[in-house]
Structure 1
Amino acid sequence: MSTAHTTAHATEVMPMLPPGPRLPAAVQGLGFALRRRQTIATLARRHGPVFTIAIPLFGDVVVIADPTLARQLFTTSTDRVVNIRPNLGRVLGSGSIFSLDGGDHRRRRRLLTPPLHGKRIRLYEAVVAEELEAESRSWPIGTPFPTLEPMMRVTLNVILRTVFGAQGTELRTLREIIPPMVEVGSRMATIPDIPIALGRIDPRRRFAARRATYDRLVRSLITQARNDSRLDERDDILALMVQSRYDDGSAMTDAEIADELLTLLVAGHETTATTLAWAIERLQRHPAILDALVTEVDAGGDELMAATITEIQRSRPVIDFAGRHVIDDMLELGPYRIPKGYNIMVAISLLHDDSRHFRDPERFDPKRFLGSTPGPAWLPFGGGTRRCIGAAFAQMEMDVVLRTLLRDFTVESTTRPGERWHSRGVAYAPGDGGRVTLHRRHDH
């Protein structure tokens, strides 16, 4: 009996974790919370592209900055890994795609994909151009101004119009409450739940109040859509969601639709607006690229623009991590064995800054993507079954905004140092808001 027990114990598979700092967990967590990018970069230099760290909210985490391991993680069965825990679902609701895993996630993703891809999104290009033109009428000419907030308004208006269709009183209210919801929700998503109530200063209280207003308005819009006798003639995303059916013929509930629409509104406008602010920040510091883009836009071309957007996403990734949570007893990842309960984070910013994958990574150079598709180390939208479902929509929106901007304005170049990275919670934005000086083009 003793021999059998010893043999069983000897064959037990034991964890094999990558190296990590020996500092107390509280110190590791503080560094991550206050200076996330710098902490992760320092640990990668010290321990290599795969290491372990203890992080508040996420617990024991394996960080990987290796494209081969990232691909292996993203293609691992959803019976073994699920979405990182906790995730944005705790803010957006149990009906959000962020909250779903396994078969439920696959079914919902199939349902949501058609409105955000292919011919459908081309119908929305005119909406994007209209919103930028409307917003730009109030921009100061010849005077520096930050572009982040204007781009936030543009992308919010775009997503509101494409999600809900015609504008009305409800949309005006949503336009007021969504930005503060995004700001508070982004912060809430990166900090642990506080076990005590903080009264009026509690961000959860402010978010919940706006969420209640959102739910009331959106439930009304959903009811209107369900009762619309011409629903099948509408091309807004809400109409498509109401009409969509799972394979078994069932439909999404009102609560699920409300959570998914909030997901689109929150996730679909801040990240795109922030990338656009970074685009303006980068282009004015690279006048040769800017001039070449203007020439291409005027000629009706698109190759350099596509490469430029790709390079902006590489050099200034708005989201710096994509993660999974281990639910299998043990996950083999490369040479490592990671036990159940661990989170695994793919460090997008480290991959994008790695000279082994991108030559001279500190140089802003769209030409690196001319005539070629990005390799597996380019991950601004994450990867695998949880790759951002709105990626195609976001690419279209950035292309139309930049094309319209360069058609209507001259961007004044600058020799000022690049803007610092500023954490808004989940996303990283230019520290000065992507300040720029514009002049109207008189030839258009």
Structure 2
Amino acid sequence: MNTNTNKNLSALIRGGQKPNGTVKVSGAKNAGTRLLAAATISDEIVQLNNFPTELVDVQYKVDFINKSGGKVVLDNSLDTVRIDPSGYVDSLLDNYEYPIRTTYLLVAGLIKRSGKARIPYPGGCKIGNRGYDLHIMVWKSLGAKVEEKEDYIEVTAPSGFKGGIVNFPISTIGGTENALISASISDNETIIKNAYISPEVESLIAFLKSMGVKIETVGNSYIKVEGAKYLRGSIFNVIPDRIEAITWIIYGIISGGNITVKDVPFEIMDIPLIHLEDAGINIYRNDKNVVVGPDCLVNGEIQPFELACGTHPGIISDMQPFYTLLGLHADGVSRIYDYRYPERLKYCEELNKFYNDAIEWQTGKIKTVGKSKISSATAKSTDLRGSMAVVLAALMADGDSKIENVEMALRGYNNLEKKLEGLGINIEITENFPEKM
């Protein structure tokens, strides 16, 4: 596994560095990791291109698949992954400590070949209550038995999944992905109601279709799946990461530097970019790239704004920390609301350390007072995207800062250190060793 996956890391950051250069947006974490899991239901070899090979979550998922008999080979130089799932079978592992949320997507491939799946409990970010009860509902709706053991979740379906109706009580991306992958190997037809068809889910649907699954969608919440006995291999491209794209765009705007951001997925970012225009920001773009810097500010200042985070095609909750950062640099008071994950607030306390208490927050609501002095600080990482916002604040601060648990940011951004180096930015990553007794 990647040497960073099991370590408690800190970043020592010299403030006042201005980015100048080009950064290429990697394949989307929230698409690539799902496609990797979905590839395990294939009967032939799968290759995924534009794949974020360096992500920590990827390393964990590859580790689990390989220990369960699959063969996954990552090529960091070509950004590709090759998956041979023919030997992927249920096995009792020595360790089920995998700190990733999407372990539930690993079930279908094991059920297909073994009729049984023992998978780690979902781990990952603490951004509010996001249980796995909906995934248990998916498996039971498709005829499986589910038991919660001490170290793992055990899903049993000796004859495989059966077609059925999955009716989600709330819309859920993870649940929709699980239902899609599981239904693709089930007998007969499966109907998924109240689904959440995000761009990443659309990508997953296209991938499953490329392997031979018949899928029909109506609107963005109804899916009909006809499972297939034999699934052919596929060569498939991972979509660029819209969350990474907005990260670099906003960093270019607020840092005083100049950044060319390549491979921006404009077609799935219309509304987030409209909100930048409404804040008095005019970015320079062609079909795939943008150039951002001080010249983008129409009248020399970022205008204060109000916006709400929710579901696609709007500003998704994962983008929230970067609009909070934008508000901290605006010429006045801005307000950000989050109806999707109103508890995504832990990073605000850490970010406030840099901005001298210029942030106020309560459930579902954040208020920023712009143009505050940015001071150096020692802060902790929280969730993936909030951690990156804290890193960016440290880079712009007056003085040197330390970010603890920075491995959270490394989980969300493929090859982060190298990309920052390409912008002329240096951060020092150190491992924290436990104190001796």
What TM-score does the superposition give when structure 1 sets the normalisation length? 0.26
Which of structures 1 and 2 has the larger relative contact order (alpha carbons within 8 angstroms, sep 6+)? 1
What TM-score does the superposition give when structure 2 sets the normalisation length? 0.27
Higher strand share: 2
Pair member with larger Rg: 1
Higher helix share: 1
